Amino acid sequence: MTALDQNLIGGDFKIDALSISFGGLKAVNQFSLHLKPMELQGLIGPNGAGKTTCFNLVTGVYQPDSGTMVLNGRSLVGLEPHEIAKAGIARTFQNIRLFGDLTVLENVMVSYHMNVDYGYFELFLRTPRYYRIEKEFRDKATELLKVMGLETRKEDKAKSLPYGDQRRLEIARALATHPKVLLLDEPAAGLNTQEKAALMGTIANIRNLFKTTILLIEHDMKLVMGICEKITVLDHGDIIAVGTPREIQDNPKVIEAYLGVG
Amino acid sequence: MKLVQWVTIIVSVGILTGINYLLEENINPYVIRVVVNCGIGMILAMSLNLVNGCAGQFSLGHAGFMGVGAYTSAAITTVLALSPFFKTDMGVGCAIVIGGLAAALAGYLVGLPSLRLKGDYLAIVTLGFGEIIRIIFLNIEEVGGARGLPGIPPKANFFWVYLWVVITFVALLRLLRSSYGRAILSVRENEIAAESMGINVARYKVVAFVISSFFAGIAGGLFAHFQSFIDPNSFVFNKSVEAVIMVVIGGMGSLSGAILGGIIVTVLPELLRIFEQYRMVIFPLILIVLMLVRPMGLLGHKEIWELFRKKASS
């Protein structure tokens, strides 16, 4: 199996009426979304609209008060975050959360751990199987880093990477879990205009290369317009609009949410 | 295993036997005592390093695990004395391993609260555990209670202690250089990210505790069978602090650093005996200066050979 092989062509992910409140605040209210296999959708909204909270709900960091999530026919509600990752949902973080003191290569290799099939005794004795699997992980990780343009820095510590490379490494690490659905939380945050454009191109490529379904959070509306098939707009925890980029652009509610009432 | 590994094992056993022979024949017992205590310190520091340095948890109860290992193995070779076998070299070796396993079980029980607690709070819980263990031994009359347990067969010599130093070092290094090791390190680096990459954070915290306390138990067993006498005071809170100092001085997360820390914390107070009553003033002063000069510990997060490699390339 190589880094690019996927067992499924994307994932079919249905989120229905997901809600959570913190104290009296309804952070996310009746959030529904249907991601079809290999679709690239956007989730946008002004600051504090609840976008990241949605991701935290979907990845099991928070448990929803109500609602359902079904990935390829399997319900994910109530699972631990690591179980959800194993089920095929990977994510990146808005505020980068790399394993800073590990090398770039090791960061990616951590994601392969869920597939490890040697035990503790084999690693203490370094059996042939240990060597074979470690080599397989190493080769797969190297290949993946090549695709993401990071292979020259694979022995460097993750924290020593420039900011843009750290963002790419986050995506590489998420891809290494062989996700059926990839959730990207503001991957372009903090990048300059050219870097942003380049990254959006990469994301569009990733979908075809890794055959994965992608949901992209982006603060900047213009950016997602170019690559997403469908966009959901969130404001104060509620969905205020769903549609194609063109429909969203002209939606008065969206304009109001972003610019305020004129 | 490969031929090279077999040869390495045979050669290192040969070297250890040789040094052991030389020490016992020619060197005064005081030096042997210091050298062996160094070895025990190294095992203790390397094992604690797995929890404090690699998994990023904070344990202050390592003397407790050491005590479990010491008392369990000593009870097997003295009080229980199921068969004369347990008075022989091999028998004592087995007893020490059983002591390690008992400590691992204790590590499992203490590892569980670490799933819910972090940092200072976990430190308090482990501290409490260490004290509870000590009080339990203090109140078990069968193992001597406050009077301590004398007459333990003194079978742990330089050879056995340093054989375990090598075993601990190789085992922990191999663990860290494996997928399981990366999982443990990822927990230290960022728990939320580790979870999201499919790492069962809770499981690897407990794994770190169990493996760590196994080796601490071994250190305890060796200690008991070297001193041939143990009492609850051998495993006071100070001993745990000493282990933490070893790890911090050497550099958190660095195995070779832990070895260095084990040597420094054991040998330095002995060397300072020339200062007589000022010894315990100067020792902490040296520690303070060390920490000011190298806050990340002598070796930082790196292993000693990595430091040299970097120098060679630049």
Nearest to A99 among B5, B185, B301 (CB): B185
Per residue in B214-271, pLDDT tens?
999 999 999 999 998 999 999 999 889 999 999 998 888 899 999 999 999 999 888 8
Give the domain range for residue A60. Answer: 13-97+163-259
**pLDDT exceeds cutoff 50 at B313:** no
A77 located within any domain: yes
**pLDDT the model gives residue B280:** 81
Q: Does some domain include residue A90? A: yes
pLDDT at B314: 40
Q: How close B2 comes to chain A (CA, Å)?
A: 9
Q: Order the strands of the A238-243 sheet from edge to edge.
A: A89-91, A181-185, A213-218, A40-44, A230-235, A238-243
A80: chain B residues, CB-CB within 8 Å: 195, 200
For chain B, domains (ranges, CATH) are 3-313 (1.10.3470)
CATH code at position A198 = 3.40.50.300
Domain assignment of residue A24, yes or no: yes
Nearest residue in chain B measured CA to CA from A96:
B193
| pLDDT, position A98 | 94
Q: Is the residue at A153 inside a domain?
A: no
Residues of chain B positioned with their CB less than 8 A from the CB of A90? 196-197
Query: A89-119 burial by CB neighbour count: b if 16+ within 10 A, else e?
Result: bbbbbbebbbbebbbbbbbbbbbbbbbbebe
Domain-located, residue A135: no
| A133 Cβ under 8 Å from any chain B Cβ | yes
Residue B11 pLDDT exceeds 50: yes
Say whether pLDDT at B312 is over 60. no
Task: Give the total number of structural domains in chain A.
Answer: 1
Q: Enumerate the residues of chain A whose CB falls inside 8 A of the CB of residue B193.
A: 93, 97-99
Taking CA atoms, what residue in B is nearest to A127?
B1
Residue A183: inside a domain: yes
Query: What are the backbone dihedrals phi and psi of residue A232, each rounded to the nearest 5 degrees, phi first?
Result: -110, 135
- Nearest chain A residue (CA) to B211: A120
Residue of B nearest to A174 (CA): B197
* 8 Å CB contact of A98 and B193: yes
pLDDT one digit per residue (tens) for chain A, 262 residues: 455 554 556 788 999 989 999 988 889 999 999 999 888 999 988 888 888 899 999 999 999 999 999 998 889 998 999 999 999 999 999 889 999 999 999 999 999 999 888 888 888 888 889 999 999 999 999 999 998 889 899 999 999 999 989 999 999 999 999 999 999 998 888 888 888 888 888 888 888 888 899 999 987 777 788 888 899 998 888 898 898 888 888 888 888 887 776 5
Indicate whether A4 belongs to any domain.
no
A6 touching B (Cβ < 8 Å):
no
Mutate to test the interface with A, among B169, B176, B197, B203 (most CBs of A within 10 A): B197
- Nearest beta carbon to residue A85 from set B180, B189, B197: B197
The whole-angstrom separation of Cα B38 and Cα B58 is 23
